[in-house]
Amino acid sequence: MKIGLMGGTFDPIHVGHLRAAENAREALGLDRVWFIPAAVPPHRAGPVSAALDRYAMVALATAANPAFAASDVELLRDGPSYTADTLETLRALVPNDDLYLIVGSDTFPEIRTWKDPERVFGQCRVAVVHRPGDMRAEMPDLPAERVCWVEGAGLPISATEIRRRIREEHSIRYLVPEAVADYIEKRGLYR
């Protein structure tokens, strides 16, 4: 089986995330895409909302697509959510499957600063999804044969912008799945 892994803070998950995952699923013939909310993101300030809220939003956002699923693998582990550690855990669960780490073209250049990038590339291929406005970055010091580029219609949406719209009491409908918008409203998130 070919499994895509899409990690992130997902604070909140939005349709840009879902479109990027769908682009990768189609381009690479992935059977499944697992969305993995980071419990403790090591490369940025802590999330605004709680890990369980972010996991719930991911579960709601992915429920309508039978190829998508939410994974709590990073929420079950203490400490920073290092991708290399997550891949090791998942590799033990699905030792014979092909894993593809899905990252945006904006994140890809940062991979060399992650914990154990060689370990990341040793456990999966990296699928770089074009994000609107980003140039295609080259990584000569990492194994090019382990990188695949995914083209497709990307959506210029950011979680930062969504949180700002909520604080300013503007609609987020059609930027996030309807179930996520309802969840955010009911829980009073990002106000």
pLDDT digits (tens, 9 = 90+) for 3-55: 999 999 999 999 999 999 999 999 999 999 999 999 998 877 778 999 999 99
Cβ atoms 20, 49 nearer than 8 A: no
Q: Which residue has the tokens 């940062």?
A: 110
| C-alpha distance across the termini of the chain, in Å | 41
pLDDT at 140: 46
Cα distances from 137 to residues 45, 147, 150, 188, in angstroms, run 25, 11, 13, 38
Provide the pLDDT for residue 67. Answer: 98
Determine the Cα–Cα distance for residues 162 and 11; give it in Å rounded to an integer. Answer: 9
For helices 178-187 and 51-62, angle between their N-to-C axes, nearest 10 degrees: 150
Residues lower than pLDDT 50 in the chain? 140
pTM: 0.93
Domain borders along the chain are: 2-155
CATH code assigned to 2-155: 3.40.50.620
pLDDT for position 86 = 97
Sheet holding 2-8, edge to edge: 68-70, 32-37, 2-8, 98-104, 125-129, 147-150
The distance between the two most distant Cα atoms of the chain, rounded to a whole number of Å, is: 48
* Alpha-carbon torsion (64, 65, 66, 72), positive or negative: negative
